[in-house]
Amino acid sequence: MTTKIKYTFKDFQSDQEVRWCPGCDDYVILRSLQKALPLMNRPKEKFVFVSGIGCSSRFPYYMDNYGIHGIHGRAAAIATGVRLANPDLSVFVITGDGDSLAIGGNHFIHALRRDINLNIILFNNEIYGLTKGQFSPTSKIGQKTKTSPYGNTQPPFNPGELAIGADARFFARVAGNDAKGQTEIYVQAHAFKGTALVEVLQNCVIFNDGAYKFWTDKNVRDEHTLFVEHGKPMIFGKNRDKGLILDGLQLKTVTIGQNGITEDDILVHDAHNPDPVLHMMLVRLKNPLVLGVIRAVEEKTLEEREIELTEQVKARSRIKSFDDIVS
Amino acid sequence: MTTKIKYTFKDFQSDQEVRWCPGCDDYVILRSLQKALPLMNRPKEKFVFVSGIGCSSRFPYYMDNYGIHGIHGRAAAIATGVRLANPDLSVFVITGDGDSLAIGGNHFIHALRRDINLNIILFNNEIYGLTKGQFSPTSKIGQKTKTSPYGNTQPPFNPGELAIGADARFFARVAGNDAKGQTEIYVQAHAFKGTALVEVLQNCVIFNDGAYKFWTDKNVRDEHTLFVEHGKPMIFGKNRDKGLILDGLQLKTVTIGQNGITEDDILVHDAHNPDPVLHMMLVRLKNPLVLGVIRAVEEKTLEEREIELTEQVKARSRIKSFDDIVS
Amino acid sequence: MTTEFKKRTDKPVRHLDQVTIRFAGDSGDGMQLTGTQFTTSAAMLGNDVFTFPNYPAEIRAPQGSLYGVSGFQVQIGAKNIDTPGDKLDLLVAMNPAALKKNLKDLKKGGMLIVDTDAFNKINLQKAKYESNPLEDGSLKDYLVVQVPMTSLTREALKDIPIDSKSKTRSKNMFALGMVYFLYGKDPKYTVEFLRKKFKNKPDIVEANIKALQTGWNYAETLELLPAFVVDEAPHHAKEYKIITGNTATAWGFLAAAEKAGLKLFLGSYPITPATDILQELSKYRALDVIAFQAEDEIAGISSAIGAAFAGKLAITTTSGPGLALKSEALGLAVMLEIPLVVVDVQRGGPSTGLPTKTEQADLMQALFGRNGESPAVILAAKSPADAFKMAFEASKIALEHMTPVILLTDGYIGNGSEPWTVQRLKDLPEIKPPLLKEPVENWKPYHRDPETLARKWVIPGTPGLEHVIGGLEKDKETGAISYEPENHEYMVKIRQAKVDKIAGFIPPLETEFQSEGELLVVGWGGTYGALRTAVGQLNEKGKKVGLAHFNHINPLPKGVEKVFEKFDKIIVAELNLGQFANYLRMKHPEFRYEQYNKIQGLPFTVEELVKAFEKLLK
Amino acid sequence: MTTEFKKRTDKPVRHLDQVTIRFAGDSGDGMQLTGTQFTTSAAMLGNDVFTFPNYPAEIRAPQGSLYGVSGFQVQIGAKNIDTPGDKLDLLVAMNPAALKKNLKDLKKGGMLIVDTDAFNKINLQKAKYESNPLEDGSLKDYLVVQVPMTSLTREALKDIPIDSKSKTRSKNMFALGMVYFLYGKDPKYTVEFLRKKFKNKPDIVEANIKALQTGWNYAETLELLPAFVVDEAPHHAKEYKIITGNTATAWGFLAAAEKAGLKLFLGSYPITPATDILQELSKYRALDVIAFQAEDEIAGISSAIGAAFAGKLAITTTSGPGLALKSEALGLAVMLEIPLVVVDVQRGGPSTGLPTKTEQADLMQALFGRNGESPAVILAAKSPADAFKMAFEASKIALEHMTPVILLTDGYIGNGSEPWTVQRLKDLPEIKPPLLKEPVENWKPYHRDPETLARKWVIPGTPGLEHVIGGLEKDKETGAISYEPENHEYMVKIRQAKVDKIAGFIPPLETEFQSEGELLVVGWGGTYGALRTAVGQLNEKGKKVGLAHFNHINPLPKGVEKVFEKFDKIIVAELNLGQFANYLRMKHPEFRYEQYNKIQGLPFTVEELVKAFEKLLK
Ligand SMILES: Cc1ncc(C[n+]2csc(CCOP(=O)(O)OP(=O)(O)O)c2C)c(N)n1
Ligand SMILES: Cc1ncc(C[n+]2csc(CCOP(=O)(O)OP(=O)(O)O)c2C)c(N)n1
Ligand code: SF4
Ligand code: SF4
Ligand SMILES: [Mg+2]
Ligand SMILES: [Mg+2]
């Protein structure tokens, strides 16, 4: 089916002026995805970008592909229809923490449960950007926003944890300012058969600047984050001398070379393990914060189940046309 | 505040005729809860039962308390309003797998995240009862129902897993035909400060009879289920000779007395551990299926945070009346 | 096993034009099946038929309880039949609760068949009878036929090796056998049906057929029975099927999709009384139908919007509360200008209301239940069989005019059934969606066809026509976001004009019975049968009364003024507080409208209509 | 630091009745603050004022871009002012994009102040100017005042130790200083404001005040300036605040709750342009207000329903798309008969539409956007200050009549501001909800007060009055589920009657200007100011034109017929395609209604209204 075409990121730029605030991570995400698309090896008319409402959800306008700028929270549901209707399309859901975890929470968990082949890019800035700064379901307790002038009282979701609880088969996390990491991960998400969720830690310079500083600032990010890769030991740190080991049911950071620890003692990342327990531990970790593809467990997707069942029914049915029903 | 009154279950029976199908587990649930209420030591006018729509959701009509029979899927949201409005009320949410996990999924996960003091009793019969037998988000793959005549293609949620992913602080599971177990658990759920979720494995005799036979049938239930209690070893079996141990990141069933295993080797249940990893493993287990209070981690509830913050603001504010705003 | 049924003895028979029968019993008594069997046989044997099932909201209410009573009414006729009948000629009551709930609908002098075995103390108590109505003289106005059905059935089946419960359960076949005999209907189709249905349970087949025969034979012994005959209806179509409105709706979509060369996508969430459409369409995987049961109504319509974008004939089905939930997304479909059909099988409201009852009170919601100026096409089906036609037409309009269409039916026609003349694809009009499959110079996503004002439908996957559409106001050509004041006004008006223009593509309004006269009766949707019968009766009495019944609500068909001005008075009859009347006041304020309204969860009776209309006649 | 401002030299001044000014610049230029400061000062100094902010949908559009232009318009008057003005007497344009977007609204001969420093090549390009308008003669119809504001400001602040960006940013104060001088307004309130706002940043205070002074002084040097004065408005209330409609709405609820002896609960989800109400109410924890930000609109209204059940004054706030989502739950509130206020701050539709623009197109949705016969009370606020009154009244009606009330405002009055005469609790009417706090013999949950038809409000926690309510149709006394046909009809009608009866509790319709005559102008909601001004102008020209403006939509106030029949013609003017006109056709079909409609996301101008109405006059 797939025609091989050589694209560059420019082929995915629309003629619309990009209208985010100067300095917003959204620009990085846009460019990273535009750079990832040529690596996916699909004709551009096969890509569909579906979004909800929010700063992030303006995304489809900036892509030169098919797209729907939907209504608030419903992108996953609309995209499910697109994909069920035509499993030959590569469907991206572009959404924010408000769009997907507040109003759209239901469609979000159901998409993950069903394991339909969507690529959900969740711009998590821990704030409502477009409506100018109210707390979101990922805002921290105590966070002061326009609707929590004395501090937020609602404990946040951890999107990765929620996703795994909803039986997500693919979860990745990446920093909003990490262009290269994003491009890699988008390619992997697209290649994954099933619902792929990518949480992007996106800095909103206007309403929640610095929310991820602890993890994304150049000076500290190597010490405070761990970028996992399947089959590789979980090592991090500027000097790549830190790693994770399992201590009972807890992950522990150790230093290679200290207390007799060698690289061989470090846990090797297995993104493909169907059992989500270790993945759950990884998504919960705060220091280091785990980035990269944390979970990627391919199963039969919803579309595949649908197609298989339909083929079975067709094979044994005498009904080939409406006329056969009434005859 | 609380007046001590001696009630019996009859005090909680309304004058409405109970209208479920003969043989439905809903009768057991009703009676078990009516028996639990006198043990909760609260005046009956302080109980509020809020439900959505479904067979299960008819429940409030059968109770002689305050109640709202709401709309489909919104019980948790309505109940959140009741409880925020008056934290002196004991609020129960009565709901079904369709009501809470299909249409009401969003309010369900948000109630758990917020940790507001509600008691959610989820009647999980893995089917839509009231609308006469369509698959639900907990129906099994391949299950034949009125809307899946060739078998269901959508993988189910595991309610406990979803709940833990949504950061639930209290989760219990109990068999729909286990009256005694239910009564105990309802009392514990009520005593718990925060959102308490009880999943009842409820048999629908009409549209999904036998869904839980493997676990609830008299002959096998002791072998196939484990009823956990906080602080007690995880032992089960007719002869109480089986138990769970941890083998790496997997739970394993062992026989006490075999291979040198003694009772001391068996895992002791810690429902209060804030780390959900082991609880996650327990809710995922299928044989034995884990029943009882699996997780119960008290934190500050949403109401408590709200009240605390409001008291702080009040203490330092000069505004005591509307007139002070305009003056 | 013998399946012989003794011929009815040739005593003189009474020929009737029509007969109304109701089978009533416990939810577990199989009354729906019994009624359906009788209906099918009568139809196969040449009668026109129209049914009205009426079951409780509870799944299985306790045995013998009043709210557990399930009923199935059918009118059969030797001439055209448009309603399930007002009053009953025959009531079969399987227990005291069934008698209590249904007796009020039995004609004075009508026949009542009861299972005397069920009239025991407990059942009488459950039905809240103070004394036994079979004994206290309260039934003196009726022709009461007391039959110990349960014991006769059990006795007849005593040698068949099935369990005791199954034997008792066969008593509905005993009752059916009696009614077959009474109306001289050959039970052969039921015999066939039983053989097929229980083909792996020969004992059950035998038991049921035996019960049927026993009932038939028993009826013969009751010398008191007059022998009725309802002759074959003369205009009966050669090839037809008895289908419910919900099935007809589903089939209409199947036909439309194939006719348009598209696949069908349904995104839906179960809700009474619309669930049947989802259930019916779930069966047609062989036709590549995707019947997607979503997590809620919003996901139902949203997935349909996605599927429409991706090139399917996309529909979503629901009832009133579900339509309320879909409002916001429906507005998006209006803005996107994509084809989408929304079916609302109306039920009693407001809120959860009366889920199993019928009403026409969602009209205003369908017309106006969206934010902003958000016009959608509104159609309404007149009867179970008409639902096929309207589902087809809704699809055609949606596809050819690139617009959401709301099709209103209701619980009465959704669950009711009547014969539907079989139509094949070749009998149906063409459907030609404005697909654009290849790049065209200077094409822009919101360019419009001058005839229909519809934009082109470009399906993702088409090279060279990539574009993005969305819910913000859009430039009149490119579809890009536009906040320009004049552009907004232009777009608001053109979306309205596109819908208005459809009036040029549908038949103009016509009247039945009279095209001028003293009174014009106006109705819409599922009340057609009752209105038509009532107006027919008035005309038979020599009154100059016309009927204007609307399938098309928005836009209204052309010619409304011309029709309305020919009558002295206009009365709008509907099952709500006057929503269509009010809509007409908006659209045609030049006329004065009387109203007849009923809001009881029940269809109109012909009798009440005739009475109401007569009041307006000199 | 000196804060002296030189007095204006005493040359002869022109006294004006009113003046309309717009400050326009980049989103980052602080135009909203500048406008607000000018407004406050003018008001404090005795003018009547009315404002209209107009900002882009984007948060921070790139500097200099056309769609990033933010504007703030204010009209100040020596007499009563009801609108922000049509055409501008003065436009302050901080860059080319601001000029490009706003020039069309400047009167011929009006004054234009520009920051010449911003008219560089890049900015001209971004604004899509082919040549520099300051040089190409295209501004010859205006009195152009070219000021190098940026450089003058930077020069003036050169010694103040703040960063360069902050210096540049102070140029808005320079512009404000000029305008203060021009209209002879003492800048003292702004000085006060700056001192308070930046109390921990003395350098910033100094910079801003310095810029203000520099602008003031600079204006004086411009001899060409005529000196204008807009005198004090005579009827100016002694004590007032300038508040936006959204703030006024929030305050109305605060007052109502306290007056009723209840606590306020808001369940809401952010949405433009309604979010301000949620944000405002989030501040009042000290008054025990619970402002609960829910996960979506459905949870917002559902939590409010729960809170109402539990005894709060419960409200939910939203805009059109959110109201669509709340439809189903609103039907539940109708069925439960509990007090609930829903605020819809209308914006441009359909769908996401024009989120930051104004419109009146949700009226039909508010009236009819629910399944079944589901009557709710509909009110509409006329102006920013009126929103206080209507929020209070909505609460009073909801509480005393046990019904949901929808209050319609719109983006124009929600964001616009005008002086609101301070009211304290003692100035406001009583609110007495029908609470039942102790068992009463034979009480049933759906017993009604004969005057209002409201049922009693029994709060959970009250011993002895336990009861369950729900969305299924209910018995007219007990509230238990009832499927009885007659009961349903009774309940549908009594719910309607309860709402209709409210007409007896609100003031009858009155007209302004004329109570009889040639033309009656009819309006509702936020168009009041423009309509009143236009009708006033026509009356000044000697035309017999009356104005009937509606705050109460459902039920309509009494006396509509009596008012309408006194005029030869009736025209309904509204910002939609004719929704209120259509509603009047339903309610009062005996009259003929002309329409004037505009649907551009903008309020009416007085000019267009006068023109439209004159057409109908001989
Ligand atoms: C039905 C509906 N409710 C509310 C809104 C208002 N709204 C628009 S975007 C948004 C939240 C945006 O937050 P998020 O999804 O985190 O996106 P971000 O702007 O932060 O990228 C809200 C509440 C809307 N457009 N529609
Ligand atoms: C808005 C809305 N959508 C759909 C329905 C129809 N409906 C009523 S109950 C139900 C599902 C019931 O399933 P569940 O919650 O599992 O309850 P059960 O009957 O199995 O106890 C549905 C789909 C409704 N009443 N309202
Ligand atoms: S408001 Fe925040 S998220 Fe939105 S564009 Fe600006 S910086 Fe980005
Ligand atoms: S349908 Fe199933 S769940 Fe509902 S009452 Fe009957 S047995 Fe119980
Ligand atoms: Mg966000
Ligand atoms: Mg269920």
Q: Name the closest-CA residue to atom 7, ligand 2.
A: C271
- State which H helix or E strand residue A175 sits in: strand A170-175
Provide the shortest C-alpha distance from residue B19 to chain A (in Å). 31
Q: Is residue B267 part of a domain?
A: no
Domains in chain D, CATH or no CATH each? 13-230 (3.40.920.10), 241-427 (3.40.50.970), 517-617 (3.40.50.920)
Is there an atom of ligand 2 within 6 Å of C321 CB? yes
| Counted domains in chain B | 1
Q: Is residue A79 part of a domain?
A: yes
Judging contacts by C-beta atoms under 8 Å, the chain A residues touching residue B154 are 113-114, 302
Look at residue B278 and tell me whether its pLDDT is greater than 80. yes
Greater model confidence, C11 or B159? B159
CB of C497 within 8 A of CB of C453? yes
Look at residue A313 and tell me whether its pLDDT is greater than 70. yes
Is there an atom of ligand 3 within 6 Å of A207 CB? yes
Is there an atom of ligand 1 within 6 Å of A51 CB? no
Q: Is residue B313 part of a domain?
A: no
State the distance from the centre of ligand 5 to the C-alpha of D81, rounded, in angstroms.
40
Is there an atom of ligand 3 within 6 Å of A21 CB? yes
Residue C161 has a CB neighbour count (10 Å cut-off) of 8
Look at residue A3 and tell me whether its pLDDT is greater than 70. no
- Do the Cβ atoms of A81 and C304 come within 8 Å? yes
Q: What's the per-residue H, E or C state across B165-190? A: HCCCCEEEEEECCCHHHHHHHHHHHH
Give the list of residues 6+ apart from residue C537 with CB closer than 8 angstroms, or none: C606, C610
CB of C433 within 8 A of CB of C401? no
- Do the Cβ atoms of A166 and B167 come within 8 Å? no
- Do the Cβ atoms of D328 and B320 come within 8 Å? no
pLDDT (tens digit per residue) in A94-110: 999 999 999 999 999 99
Residue C33's alpha-carbon distances to C27, C36, C194, in angstroms, are 11, 5, 11
Provide the shortest C-alpha distance from residue C341 to chain B (in Å). 20
Please compute the mean of the pLDDT values over residues A208-214 and round it to a whole number.
Answer: 97
> At D226, is the pLDDT very low, low, confident or very high (cuts 50, 70, 90)?
low
CA distance C166 to C186: 25
Pairing of strands C48-54, C18-26: unpaired
Q: Which of A110, A155, A309 is nearest residue B167 as measured by Cβ atoms?
A: A155
Q: What is the number of the ligand 3 atom nearest to the C-alpha of A19?
A: 5
Is there an atom of ligand 2 within 6 Å of B129 CB? yes
- Do the Cβ atoms of C286 and A317 come within 8 Å? yes
pLDDT (tens digit per residue) in C357-407: 999 999 999 999 999 999 999 999 999 999 999 999 999 999 999 999 999
Is there an atom of ligand 1 within 6 Å of A56 CB? yes
- The mean pLDDT of chain D is 94
State the distance from the centre of ligand 5 to the C-alpha of A100, rounded, in angstroms.
9
**pLDDT for the residue C9:** 64
**pLDDT for the residue C97:** 96
Please compute the mean of the pLDDT values over residues D164-191 and round it to a whole number.
Answer: 94
Is there an atom of ligand 3 within 6 Å of A26 CB? yes
For residue A47, what are the domain limits? Answer: 9-211+297-301
Q: Is residue A288 part of a domain?
A: no
Judging contacts by C-beta atoms under 8 Å, the chain D residues touching residue B326 are 241, 251, 422-424
Q: What is the CATH number of the domain that holds B16?
A: 3.40.50.970
Provide the shortest C-alpha distance from residue B255 to chain A (in Å). 22
**A69, A99, A127, best to mutate for ligand 1 pocket (most atoms within 8 Å of CB):** A99
Look at residue A2 and tell me whether its pLDDT is greater than 50. no
- State which H helix or E strand residue D292 sits in: strand D290-293
Q: Name the closest-CA residue to atom 1, ligand 4.
A: B129
Please compute the mean of the pLDDT values over residues B200-229 and round it to a whole number.
Answer: 97
Provide the shortest C-alpha distance from residue A120 to chain C (in Å). 15
- Do the Cβ atoms of A131 and D65 come within 8 Å? no
> At D235, is the pLDDT very low, low, confident or very high (cuts 50, 70, 90)?
low
Q: Which of B153, B249, B305 is nearest residue A309 as measured by Cβ atoms?
A: B153
**pLDDT for the residue B2:** 46
**How far is Cα of residue C616 from the mean position of the Cα atoms in its chain?**
30
- Do the Cβ atoms of D461 and B45 come within 8 Å? yes
**pLDDT for the residue C8:** 67
- Do the Cβ atoms of B103 and C291 come within 8 Å? no
Q: What would the DSSP string read from start to end of D439-498?
A: --TT--TT-B-TTT-PBPB--TT-TT---EEESB-B-TTT--B---HHHHHHHHHHHHHH
For chain D, how many helices (H) and strands (E)?
20, 22
- Do the Cβ atoms of A278 and B162 come within 8 Å? no
Provide the shortest C-alpha distance from residue B285 to chain C (in Å). 26
pLDDT (tens digit per residue) in B163-192: 999 999 999 999 999 999 999 999 999 999
Judging contacts by C-beta atoms under 8 Å, the chain A residues touching residue D352 are 53, 71-72
Judging contacts by C-beta atoms under 8 Å, the chain D residues touching residue B61 are 468, 470, 480-481
Confidence (pTM): 0.96
Give the list of residues 6+ apart from residue C450 with CB closer than 8 angstroms, or none: none
**pLDDT for the residue C7:** 72
Residue A308 has a CB neighbour count (10 Å cut-off) of 12
Give partners of C (≥3 CB pairs < 8 A): A, B, D
pLDDT below 50 — which residues of chain C?
Answer: none
Residues present in chain D in total:
618
Which ligand approaches the C-alpha of residue A126 most closely? 5
State the distance from the centre of ligand 2 to the C-alpha of B151, rounded, in angstroms.
20
- Do the Cβ atoms of B281 and A281 come within 8 Å? no
**pLDDT for the residue D289:** 98
Give partners of D (≥3 CB pairs < 8 A): A, B, C
Please compute the mean of the pLDDT values over residues A86-101 and round it to a whole number.
Answer: 98
Q: Is residue B270 part of a domain?
A: no
Please compute the mean of the pLDDT values over residues A113-134 and round it to a whole number.
Answer: 98
Please compute the mean of the pLDDT values over residues A203-223 and round it to a whole number.
Answer: 96
Look at residue D56 and tell me whether its pLDDT is greater than 90. no
CA distance D482 to C67: 10
Q: Which of B115, B124, B44, B111 is nearest to B74 (CA)?
A: B111
Q: Name the closest-CA residue to atom 6, ligand 4.
A: B21
Q: Is residue B190 part of a domain?
A: yes
Would you say the ipTM is above 0.90? yes
Edge-to-edge strand ranges of the sheet holding D88-93: D48-54, D69-77, D18-26, D88-93, D106-115, D143-147
Is there an atom of ligand 4 within 6 Å of C62 CB? no
**pLDDT for the residue C2:** 58
Please compute the mean of the pLDDT values over residues D304-319 and round it to a whole number.
Answer: 98
Please compute the mean of the pLDDT values over residues B265-288 and round it to a whole number.
Answer: 97
Which ligand approaches the C-alpha of residue B28 most closely? 4
State the distance from the centre of ligand 6 to the C-alpha of C600, rounded, in angstroms.
30
Provide the shortest C-alpha distance from residue A114 to chain B (in Å). 5
Which of D238, D253, D288, D309 is the best substitution to test chain B (most B C-beta atoms within 10 A)?
A: D309
Q: Is residue B199 part of a domain?
A: yes
Q: Which of B113, B309, B312 is nearest residue A157 as measured by Cβ atoms?
A: B113
Q: Is residue A315 part of a domain?
A: no
Greater model confidence, D505 or C239? D505
- State which H helix or E strand residue C572 sits in: strand C567-574
Beta strands in D319-464 (DSSP E): 340-346, 377-380, 404-410, 417-421
Q: C-side interface with B, Cβ within 8 Å?
A: 58-63, 65, 67, 269-272, 275, 278-279, 282-283, 285, 291, 293, 295-297, 321, 351-352
> At D236, is the pLDDT very low, low, confident or very high (cuts 50, 70, 90)?
low
Which ligand approaches the C-alpha of residue B125 most closely? 6
**pLDDT for the residue D558:** 98
Q: Name the closest-CA residue to atom 3, ligand 4.
A: B204
- Do the Cβ atoms of D472 and C362 come within 8 Å? no
pLDDT (tens digit per residue) in A134-147: 999 999 999 999 99
pLDDT (tens digit per residue) in A143-191: 999 999 999 999 999 999 999 999 999 999 999 999 999 999 999 999 9
Q: Which of B166, B281, B305 is nearest residue A162 as measured by Cβ atoms?
A: B166
How many residue pairs from chains A and C have C-beta atoms closer than 8 A? 175
- Do the Cβ atoms of D282 and A137 come within 8 Å? no
Give partners of A (≥3 CB pairs < 8 A): B, C, D
**pLDDT for the residue D87:** 95
Q: Which of B53, B72, B134 is nearest residue C293 as measured by Cβ atoms?
A: B134
Q: What is the DSSP letter of A140?
A: P
- Do the Cβ atoms of D311 and B86 come within 8 Å? yes
Look at residue B142 and tell me whether its pLDDT is greater than 50. yes
Please compute the mean of the pLDDT values over residues A74-79 and round it to a whole number.
Answer: 98
pLDDT (tens digit per residue) in D66-122: 988 999 999 999 988 999 999 999 999 999 999 999 999 999 999 999 999 999 999
> At D12, is the pLDDT very low, low, confident or very high (cuts 50, 70, 90)?
low
CB of D596 within 8 A of CB of D609? yes
